[in-house]
A and B are shown apart, each in its own frame.
Chain A
Amino acid sequence: MFESETAPTYHLETVEDNQFVLNLGPQHPGTHGVLRVVLHMDGEYILTADPVLGYGHRMQEKIAETMTYTQVLPYMARMDYLGALSYNQAWVCLIEKMCGLEVPRRAEYIRVLCVELNRIASHFLWFGAFLLDLGAFTPFLHAFADREKILDLLESVTGSRLTHCYFRFGGVGADVDDDFFAGAQAFVDHMRQHLPTYHSLVTGNVIFQERTKDVGVILPFETWGYGLSGPVLRGSGKQYDVRRSEPYSIYPELDFKIPVEQSGDCLARYLVRLREIEESLNIIEQAVAGMPDGPVRSKVPKIIKPPEGEAAMAVETPRGELMIYLVSDGTKVPYRVKYRVPSFANLSIFSHLARGQLLADVLAILGSLDMVIPEVDR
């Protein structure tokens, strides 16, 4: 060991011998957005990792208190831009629940169809980004080529590619045509053929296995305490999915499984997501086959004024359980809105997982949690 006088000074703050503080982010491709992680490191090992949040804070809850119920709708898509339709769904379902509005069955089917397409698109983007974190570039291009097909489909229905604002209170914005159903079915057939490519390209790859197996293990007993949900939770052997445990919309009538993996590592979370894509394909197929005819929007009052009181609604977004809690004072603007977002809860376990890991593994762990930072900061 050198004495500190002779020790080389890095641009990094030297804390003790071989120990230093490294700022990961806020503008680092590995953190997928403006998340900053302060890493206290000893050589290449992490001593502590503290996420610093709030770079993308936009006061979404406060904004909602100044808007009418309809005007809040476009803001939903800005929180989780990858699962915009799930957020749309949570908000419209919540208001429908509070006001007791009817939703035509065709509208429910269209909603589920769109939400599941959106879920697959989100998982594809995660797949590409996660593998980029691990240093593989090609899978990213494959995933994006397939995601493009979904975006084109959704664009033909909602008019936008990412920040959809399509669901309305009591139904959906506009009816869909047969081309869309044909397109969705064609996409399902295409993916069934193409998914094995993903597995042969990535899942079986030795380097990938080495990088993800037994990395960032979340033990089953830790999951509830951290409030985990979504694929992160199901990767640790807990079979919990809001679509089954607190069913909403038409999910009880559909036949799909909740994929669960036992090992709790990054590989498990990866496998859960890939299997979720398959299950979503099943749901899409069933929704297309069972699509009823009829109206897509019921008669709703022009100005939405939920009765005084409070309500909560939970939905399963691609990242986990989203719950919106609403207090209404009977006027046309919400009194208080609270979003319980999945990414935020999932991020809370990160410091615990990162401790004692190598820097490269920490990026894999961060990637496997699948976060959308605007959703964390909201």
Chain B
Amino acid sequence: MNWSYAQNIITGLVSLVKGMQVTMTTMLTPSPTVEWPSETAPLPPRFRGHIMLVADESTGFARCIACGACSRACPSNCIQVIGEKPEGVKKKSPTLFQLDFTKCSLCGLCVESCPVAALAYSRDYALAGPDRQVYSSMDLLTGFASPLTEQCHEL
């Protein structure tokens, strides 16, 4: 047993005490985590969920004019749009608007490319399902009335 051995023990103890100090202070500060799902952390306004169609306020129909710009802008080819012109109206309306969310990278290029601002991000984040189909072909027209059929797309 020599002096340097004892010195090692002392340095070790000092560094242990310093570490424990940090532990003790942290123990007394409030925890930064929230207990999901009973509590949720607030979502920022720019949160990017999957994309969704925006309704036209006056008619309640989807604002989309089925121009296909979003589907061309998408790097992962996730959007499929088919549209038709209803009789007596100038603009097209979508008959199919399908998103393959399993491939989407949430880059936002589609939202930016839309000429009539018909796309937005949803605030839906707790996505889970028993079936891949639910997300690989999401029908974004669900819940929208269409001027073509005047009926709601079935869920």
A residues sitting closer than 8 Å to B (CB atoms) are: 67, 70-75, 78, 138, 142, 145, 148, 152, 155-160, 163, 165, 173-174, 197, 200-201, 204-207
Contacts and interface: CB of A to CB of B under 8 A. Distances in A.
Query: Which of A159, A174, A197, A204 has the largest count of B CB atoms less than 10 A from its CB?
Result: A159
B108 A173 contact: yes
Contacts of B106: 159-160, 163, 165
A70 B73 contact: yes
Contact of B45 (A72, A75, A156): A156
A66 B8 CA distance: 61
Interface in B14-35: 15, 18-19, 21-23, 26, 32
Contacts of A173: 108, 112
A206 B45 contact: no
B73 A157 contact: no
Interface residues of B, number: 26
A155 B75 contact: no
B82 interface: no
A71 B75 contact: yes
A174 B75 CA distance: 20
B22 A155 contact: no
Contacts of B8: 206
A201 B44 contact: no
B23 A138 contact: yes
B105 A163 contact: yes
B32 A148 contact: yes
Interface string B36-78: 0000000011111000000000000000000000000111000
Given A155-B44, A165-B107, A200-B21, 15 more contacts: A71-B109, A72-B75, A73-B107, A74-B75, A74-B105, A74-B107, A142-B22, A142-B26, A148-B32, A155-B46, A159-B44, A173-B108, A174-B46, A200-B19, A205-B18
Contacts of B47: 155, 159
B22 A204 contact: no
A59 to B, nearest CB: 14
Contacts of A174: 46
A155 B105 CA distance: 15
Given A71-B73, A71-B75, A138-B23, A158 B15 contact: no
Contacts of B86: none
19 contacts: A71-B74, A71-B109, A74-B107, A138-B22, A148-B32, A155-B47, A156-B45, A156-B46, A159-B44, A159-B47, A159-B48, A165-B106, A174-B46, A200-B18, A201-B22, A205-B18, A205-B19, A206-B8, A207-B15
Interface of B: 8, 11-12, 15, 18-19, 21-23, 26, 32, 44-48, 73-75, 105-109, 112, 121
A105 to B, nearest CB: 22
A271 B144 CA distance: 57
A289 B35 CA distance: 37
Nearest to B42: A152
Given A165-B107, A206-B12, A159 B121 contact: yes
A34 B131 CA distance: 28
A111 to B, nearest CB: 17
Contacts of A74: 75, 105, 107, 109
A124 to B, nearest CB: 14
Contacts of B18: 200-201, 204-205
Contact of A159 (B15, B22, B46, B75): B46
Contacts of B21: 200
B15 A204 contact: yes
B48 A160 contact: yes
Given A73-B107, A75-B75, A206 B48 contact: no
List 4 A-B pairs, minimum CB-CB distance, nearest first. Answer: A74-B107, A71-B75, A159-B48, A156-B44
Contacts of A157: 46
Nearest to B43: A155
Contacts of A138: 19, 22-23
A174 B46 CA distance: 10
